[in-house]
Structure 1
Amino acid sequence: MDGMTAYDADLPAHVERVLADFLRSAGDPIRRQEPTFGPAVDALTDFVLGGGKRLRPTFAWWGWRGAGGDPTGGDAEGVLRVAASLELIQACALIHDDLMDSSDSRRGAPTVHVAFAKRHADRGLLGSAATFGLSAAVLIGDLALAWADDMYAGADLPAATLAAARPAWQAMRTEVLAGQYLDVHTQATGDTSTTAALRIDRLKTAAYTVQRPLHLGAALAGADERLVGALLAFGGDVGVAFQLRDDLLGVFGDPSVTGKPAGDDLREGKRTLLVALGLRHAEERNRPREHAIISAAVGNGALTEADVDVVRQALVDVGAVAAVERRIEELTGSALGTLRGAGLAEPATDRLADLVARATQRTF
C-alpha cells in the first residue's frame, strides 16, 4: 500500500467508527437520565454521522503522519479520536451557521432548527414553533461543542501529548467563532470589499478547515516550529482556495452535490470574494447593468432560480468567475510548492497533494 497502513487506506471509515462509539457512550447516560432530551441527542448523532467529507480529521491525521507519527504504534487510536473530535466542532459550526443564515436545508434534509420547529408544530405544543426550533438548534450546537472537548480530553494519549496540541485546539475554536462573527458583521455593514471577503476566508475557513487541523496533528507528533510554520503556510493557501471553490459552488453548483439550493449564498447576503470581484469588475469595466444585477441579488431572499441564472451570467460576463478561478489556481500552486519543500514524512506529501485536488477541484 505504498507505505500506508489500514488507518491510512480507509481513514473516513475509522473516523466514522470512532465518532459512532463516542456518540453512543456520551449520549446513552443523558438519554436514560432525561428521556425528553433524547430527540436532541438523536438529532446531533444523525447530523454528525449523516454525511460530510471528513476533511478536518483527514488533514489532522496527515499532519500527524507528516510530522513522524507512527500509525502502527500505540498512539494511533488516540490520535484518531482527537482528529475525529473535529467533526463535533464542525457540527456545532454548521448547525449554528444554518440558524444564522435561516437556511432550510443541509445535505438535502431539513436543517436542525427547521426540523425541531416542525416537531413542535406536529405535536401542537405551546408557543412559537419557530422559536422552539431556534432554541433547540442553539442547544444542540452547544452540545456538539461541549462533546468535542470531552472527546479530545478523553483520548488515550499521554497527558503531555494532549497538552502540547491544546494551543492549536484552542486557537482553532476561537478563530472559527471569530470568523463566524466577522461573516455576520460584514453582512450587517454591507462591506463588499475584496479585503473583507478574504479576511473571512482566512479565519472562517482556512484556519479552521486546514491550518489548525494540520497544526493539531503535527503538534501531537511533537513537530518543531519550522514544520508547523510550513504546514500553516500550506494550509492557509489551501483553505482560502477551498473557500473560493465553495463560493463558486454556492452560486453555480448542483444542489444534489452541494446539499443546498443553488444561489443560497446570494439570498443569505454572503459577501464572498466572487461577489466582491463581480461588483468591482462591473464598476471598473463600466458595466452598470451587471453591477445593479449583482448588487440587488445580495441578501435578496426572494431570488428565484431564473433570477440566479441572470446573476450567474452577470458574474461570468464581468470576469469575476474567471478571476476567482485564477486565484484558486495561484493559491493551489503556492500551496503545493510549500508542501514539496516542507520535508514531511512519506506518504504524507502525496496524500496531502491529493487532498488539495479534492478540496479545490471544479465540480460544476
Structure 2
Amino acid sequence: MTAVLTRFISEQDAAAVESRLAGHWERRVTAAADFGDDYAALWSAIARSATGGKLLRPALVLGLHEQLGGDHGDAAVEVAVAFELLHTGFLLHDDVIDGDLVRRGRRNMLGERVDQALAAGINGADAERWAQASAILAGDLLIHDAQAVIARLAVPEPLRLSLLDLLDDAVFASAAGELADVALSAGTARPGLHTVLEMTTWKTAPYSFSAPLRAGAVLAGAPAQTVAVLARFGGLVGRAFQLRDDVLGVFGDEAVTGKSTIGDIREGKVTAMIAYARETPSWAELRGLLGRDAADGDVARLRVLLVECGALDYVEGLISHAVAESLAMLDDAILPEALRAELARLSHQATERVA
C-alpha cells in the first residue's frame, strides 16, 4: 500500500485510486501495442514512473469530498486519479527540463530510456534526444488523460465544467511557474526575491494543493466562500511545501529524499535561498560555485555559505510564516472541526517533512 502524506485518505480509498490507475495503465499499454513495441514499452515505462508516490493530491480530493459531506463517491475517485495523472505528467516534464535521471531513489523514465539507447549502441546525443522526446510525449499524454478523465465524469454538466476549469487553472499556473523557474536559471528573468517567491508558488501550489482541495469541496457542493478559503490555504501550504523542497534539494539526505542534492546547484536554480544570498557579501564567492561543473567540494562550500549568510534561516522563516498564516486562516474559516484539524496537520506535515 502506498504511504500517503495525510490521513485524509483511507486505505480503502487509496486502494481504489491505485486500482483505477492500474486499469488505466493496462488499457493504455494494450492499445499502444497496435502502434508498435516501442510505444507499448513507453506506456509501460509511464506506469513504472507513477509508482512510489505519496498520493497526496488524491488524498486531498477524497478527504475534502468526504469531510464536507459529498455524495459523488465514484466521481471523487476519478477526479483523484486525474490529479495523480497530472502530477505524474508534470514530473516527467520536470525531469526533462532539469536533466534529472533519478527520482524516488531509482532511474526515472528519462534515465531508463537513456540507458536502453546506450545499451543498444546508440551514441550519447541521440540516446539523450530519444529519451527526452519519450518523456516529453509521455507527459503530454498524461496531461491529456487527466483532462479526459474529468471530461467523462458522470456528474451534472455545470459541476463537470467547474472541475475542468479547476484543472485548466492548475495547468496554466504551473506552466507559468515552470517557465519562470527556467527563465531565472537561464538569466532571462531578473532574480529578485519577489519574482522568485511568485515562481515558487505558481510551480507547485495550484496543482498540488489549491486545485485538489477546491475540487473535493466543489464535488461536495461546498459554498463559494469555503472554496475560496481552501484556495488561499492551499496557496500558502503549497508555497511552504516548495520552499521546503528547495531546502531539501540542497541540504536533504539523498537516501531519504530519493533525489540528488547537487542537481539544483549544478543547474544553477534560483531558489529563494539563492535570491536572498545574492544580496549578501557571500555572493561574490557563492556565485562561482553554481553551475554544471560544480565539484563535490564546491557543493559543500556552497552549503556552508548559505548557512553563514543567513539564506537558510531566511527561508526557514518564510516557511514558518506561511504555515502560521495558513493556520490563522483556518481559525477564521467556517469548516467542520475535524476538517480544520486535518488541514492544520497537513500544513505541518507538508513543511516538516524530510522527503
Task: Give the corresponding residue for 1:52.
Answer: 53
Cα distance in 1 for partners of 2:90, 2:137 equals 12
Task: Give the corresponding residue for 2:133.
Answer: 135
1:28 aligns with 2:25: no
What SS does the aligned partner of 1:276 have?
helix
Distance 1:232 1:162, change over 3 A: same
Shift of 1:66: 4.5
Task: Give the corresponding residue for 2:65.
Answer: 64
Task: Give the corresponding residue for 1:294.
Answer: 286
Does the CA-based 8 Å contact 1:234-1:338 persist in structure 2?
Answer: yes
Task: Give the corresponding residue for 1:326.
Answer: 317
Deviates more, 1:230-239 or 1:155-164: 155-164
Does the CA-based 8 Å contact 2:25-2:44 persist in structure 1?
Answer: no
Task: Give the corresponding residue for 2:142.
Answer: 144
* 1:1-364 aligned within 5 A: 8=10, 11-32=13-34, 34-48=36-50, 50-70=51-71, 75-124=72-121, 128-188=126-186, 189=188, 191-280=190-279, 282=280, 287=281, 290-298=282-290, 300-345=291-336, 347-363=338-354
- Percentage of matched positions with identical amino acids: 31
Shift of 1:350: 2.0
Cα distance in 2 for partners of 1:27, 1:159 equals 30
Cα distance in 2 for partners of 1:362, 1:107 equals 15
Does the CA-based 8 Å contact 2:88-2:142 persist in structure 1?
Answer: yes
Does the CA-based 8 Å contact 1:22-1:151 persist in structure 2?
Answer: no
TM-score by length of 2: 0.90
Deviates more, 1:152-161 or 1:16-25: 152-161
TM-score by length of 1: 0.88
Shift of 1:14: 3.3
Cα distance in 1 for partners of 2:111, 2:152 equals 33
Cα distance in 2 for partners of 1:29, 1:308 equals 46
Q: Which amino acid aligns with 1:243?
A: Q
Cα distance in 2 for partners of 1:186, 1:306 equals 25
Distance 1:7 1:277, change over 3 A: closer
Distance 1:36 1:136, change over 3 A: same
Shift of 1:222: 2.2
What SS does the aligned partner of 1:191 have?
coil
Q: Which amino acid aligns with 2:250?
A: V
Q: Which amino acid aligns with 1:332?
A: V
Alignment: residue pair count? 347
Cα distance in 1 for partners of 2:148, 2:26 equals 13
What SS does the aligned partner of 1:270 have?
coil
| Deviation digits for residues 98-128 of structure 1 (CA, Å, limit 9, x no counterpart) | 1111112111222322321221222235882
What SS does the aligned partner of 1:192 have?
coil
Distance 1:34 1:104, change over 3 A: closer
Q: Which amino acid aligns with 1:78?
A: A
Shift of 1:210: 0.9
Over aligned residue pairs, what C-alpha RMSD do you find?
Answer: 2.2
